[in-house]
């Protein structure tokens, strides 16, 4: 499994989680898988469901544990606590 494969698998699982419309925890945070390129990464990242939906809708954004990176060149657009979002460079 290379980095791209890890990203694709995490994205598939996260899409499934989002489609199930989970209520999340007391702060409405839902646990998603880190979509980085590290094949051994098993980190989860907590964000509100609407935030992850926006990532999916944008098509060029990736949800990550802070400090982890997407499989292709991306720039960080949001970094908050343990969560970061990267966007594909154009
Ligand atoms: Zn990761």
- 63 CA distance to ligand 1 centroid (A)? 9
DSSP 6-58: HHHHHHHHHHHHHHT----STT-EEEEE---S-TT---EEEEEHHHHHHHHHH
Q: pLDDT tens digits for 44-83?
A: 999 999 999 999 999 899 999 999 999 888 999 999 899 9
Domain range enclosing 59: 3-88
Number of domains in the chain: 1
Q: What is the pLDDT of residue 90?
A: 66
- Is pLDDT above 90 for 84? yes
- 64 CA distance to ligand 1 centroid (A)? 6
Give the whole-angstrom CA distance, residue 2 versus residue 87: 20
- 67 CA distance to ligand 1 centroid (A)? 8
pTM: 0.91
- 45 CA distance to ligand 1 centroid (A)? 9
**Ion ligand 1: residues, Cβ under 5 Å:** 34, 36, 41, 43, 65, 68
């Amino acid at each position: 499994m290379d980095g791209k494969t890890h990203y694709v698998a995490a994205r598939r699982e996260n899409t499934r989680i989002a489609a199930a419309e989970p209520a999340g925890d007391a702060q409405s945070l839902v646990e998603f898988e880190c979509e980085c390129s590290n094949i051994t990464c098993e980190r989860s990242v907590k964000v509100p469901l609407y935030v992850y939906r926006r990532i999916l809708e944008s098509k060029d954004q990736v949800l990550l544990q802070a400090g982890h990176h997407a499989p292709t060149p991306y720039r960080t657009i949001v970094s908050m606590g343990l969560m970061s979002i990267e966007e594909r460079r154009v």
